[in-house]
Structure 1
Amino acid sequence: MQSIKPLMEELYEIELNALEANDSFPKPPNWRLSPRAVRTFIIGQEEPLLLEGKEVEVSRKFYGNDALVERAIVTLAGNRGLMLIGEPGTAKTMLSELLSAAICRNSRNTVQGTAATMEDTIKYSWNYALLLAKGPVREALVPGPLFVGMEQGILTRFEELTRCPQEVQDSLISVLSDKVLNIPEFGEQGILTAKPGFNIIATANTRDRGVNEMSSALKRRFNFETVHPIKDVKLEAKIIESQVTRLLGASGITPEVDETVVQLLATVFHELREGVTAEGKRIDQPSSVMSTAEAVSVYYQSAMDAYYYGSGQVKMDALVRYLSGTIAKENKDDLEKLRSYFTSIVRARGQVGGEVWKSFFEARNQLK
């Protein structure tokens, strides 16, 4: 049965098999691929690989700083955890999934950090029926993602670490330092030592800074890498187009992505995010997250709207309507900044012969 969101190791299984079959470089203990092959899996390569007599293309999956990818891989090969930080929607989670899929073929060993996350959620808990019947035996223990990672020598992903209470965060300190997990209920045998290959990839949004600030002791046990938004408008448009095409295909809709509308959307998001237009004019920045992921969502929702309620062609009215919803998500007053952008920038571009910008401006009545 098809999954709405397949695991990375399932989605790119053929590429991973091809890379593993052709990988002759040194590997850290328990890694499925060498650091070179992990890098190739994430950023792609032009030359195809041979697998059982067939050529396999290795596509680029992460668009950003290639040096950041290399540093992340080196960190995971060492004894420090990896912390990916950045604005929401900058593909931190996707990068952690890709790293896990390439290194240990398991991206599902994950903790989703929330305010309700408890220490037993990440380490281990008990099957209380078995605990009462047999006492604290291994059979009664229910391993959490951290336990699984240490026992099997694989990566543990920790999403939104700073959303967790500080006492839960600090429970990672001994694990990252000594690579040991204490299980007091087992008595003298209650020590789990991590197998080679174990490490932690954590993510955190810079917008959550101050919610549950990490302690200095925990910070010292991670190497921090900042994932920045994409600066190139053409590259951002390419990502929007490819992601929307994939999402529409997964929804059973024949993708018909309008490149001119995608380019317009990428430009709008880039300019509102940076606070300056292509002409160098300063504009007000909304407080909402103007990420590539949000741009993908705006076009995808507009395309779904067109498919179910229209002729299949994305209409500017729908695009502006979903854009305004994104802008007003954090602060409804930000709609005034979007109106100002339409009045000063979009109108001018429509007047100099930009037909798509003219249509975009004419849909401004959807800004409510």
Structure 2
Amino acid sequence: MSDPSIKTAHQDLHSGQGALRGEHPGRARNPVIKVADLAWLEFEKPDLHRAEVFARDFGFFIAGRTPDALYLRGTFPGSPCAIIRRGRASRFIGPAFRATSRSDLNRLARATGADVKELGEAGGGRVVDLLDPSSFPVRVVHGTEELPALPEQQPLTHNFGSHRPRINSMQRPAREPTRIQRLGHLVISTRVFARALDWYLDNLGLIVSDFLFLDGQRDRGPAMAFMRCDQGSLAVDHHTLAMHLGPSTGYVHSAFQVTDLDAIAAGGEYLAERGYKRSWGIGRHVQGSQIFDYWRDPDRLMVEHFADGDLFSCDVETGWAPMRASGQAQWGPPVTREWLGTNPSPALLREVMQCLREDNELDPARLLGLMKAMNS
């Protein structure tokens, strides 16, 4: 029997194991800047009216609209958390991160050879426009207008064991859209995972909360990273950007914080009654611990309601775990193939064949490892 007084390096942390000698440290030694948070995400859609109807049903508030753009916000103060521009097709454009200071914008511009420009739209401020190794446009902004807070969706009062504050009153959560509070995180897929990972760590100062590796291929490095912002001793979301190696390069999903489990469940009932399709949920994740619920918008882009996520300061070490479909949740319904993106299709087959012909980080062994992970 093991001695309970003896603790391993990671026994009291979020992950069962940490890095082995010589593995990726999960952070840059001297990043150019350290961004404070995600500011917003940008999309294009051909039908802004349909986009607005779903946005309201999902729980966004409208911060502004023009003939060619829709600005969505949550209840927390700050900038809009999503901008939808009129375009020919429904697609994700890229993220915008918030710099801590104007001097950080200048430093980033000098280091990357970019320019600091006026943002030139509602909210003002300045921006540095970059392109990451996956060819995603990445904006870093500062000095944008801060919108005031909106009324919150109040959490329900719960009776727990002998602590029973709710007396002579019933629980009746309203069947209405859950109110989005803020943008939480973005997940993307890329064929150049290692290069993109180092780019975000080196230039934006993100640090890795958790790495996932493919079974039998840990020696080849991680295949997924959950990255958070580095705000020192201030605890922040377990991940602001998550990225995984895959045969396609593109948007996977984005996540928006809501009040609590009841808000997620009642808001989900509201969405289902209006004919929207749940992708997966309700459950609780492993990496990040969030209670989650995933939905598809009318153009099949995936968005997530979440609540009760982990918060880490800068001194929490990077965890390492095997990538497995069954390891995505602590509890909840079985993960769906639709959510995993592994439903067989001609488009998926074309992506696999194309990536094998290109110069990237995927080879037959990595692809087989990914397929095994998604079926384990």
Structure 1 length normalisation: TM-score? Answer: 0.25
Structure of greater relative contact order (alpha carbons < 8 Å, 6+ residues apart): 2
By percentage of residues, which structure has more strand? 2
TM-score, structure 2 as length reference? 0.25
Name the structure with the higher helix share: 1
Larger radius of gyration, structure 1 or 2? 1
